[in-house]
Amino acid sequence: MKSRQLVAGNWKMNLTKQEAQSLLAEISGMMADEIHGNMPVVLFPSFPYLMMTATQLQSDPRLKTGAQNCSVEKSGAFTGEVSAEMLASCGVGYVLAGHSERRAYYGETDLIVAQKVLRILQAGMIPVFCCGESLDEREKGRHFETVQRQIEAVTAALNEEQYAKLVVAYEPVWAIGTGKTATAEQAGEMHSFIRGLLKMQFSQAADQTTILYGGSCNEKNAAELFRTSDVDGGLIGGASLQSRSFISIVKSLP
């Protein structure tokens, strides 16, 4: 039985090249000294640093390189876009799809997200599919409805073999970059709901799906969140830009 545990660090649009190099060196050094076991840890730097990241992390098989986005197109006249095949050729193993910021700021629809997930899989990488509700949707009691719609748009496009490679990240949008965090009870309730949805389509295979929590998880609340049923790790934002904070979160997994 494979382990469901995973921690990912999304650096978003931060750090100069020199700062990224230093952070990579700090994280890889702390991983070697302090982290035991084979749980994967994925770092998602900005596009210019992907090959540098893959090279710096290659000495530790637990450390993986992820990309924050990819195009729905395979190739062609799409200035400024980056294809899944390009990412795979640069040593990328994971790609985010449907992050709340992509949905909110760049108009990515459920259909676009599903297309990206398929492109990532076709290129031989692992999609980290993000889903989650806004503050308005939660306050109106529509959070389950929103997450179900987002999930079904993706899983309807996958066969069981493709689904087996999927990682899901639940992002309560109202808790990203706001300092707010879902309580362990709220996180556990949604994670259990997500696994239930997955089981409806993929039966027992859903028991092995990694479901990450991605809403202002930090070194102070990580341990409580990670002890919660069906929370298998975290998609970490701001705290992943500080090596000690990030490694503390990795060490919080039971």
Task: Enumerate the active-site residues.
Answer: 99, 171
Q: Map residue 60 onto helix, strand or coil.
A: coil
Contact at 8 Å (CB) between 6 and 40?
yes
Give the Cβ contact number of residue 149 at 10 Å.
12
Q: Map residue 144 onto helix, strand or coil.
A: helix
Contact at 8 Å (CB) between 157 and 118?
yes
Query: Mutual orientation of helices 110-122 and 143-155 as an angle, nearest 10°?
Result: 40
Give the Cβ contact number of residue 76 at 10 Å.
8
Contact at 8 Å (CB) between 210 and 167?
yes
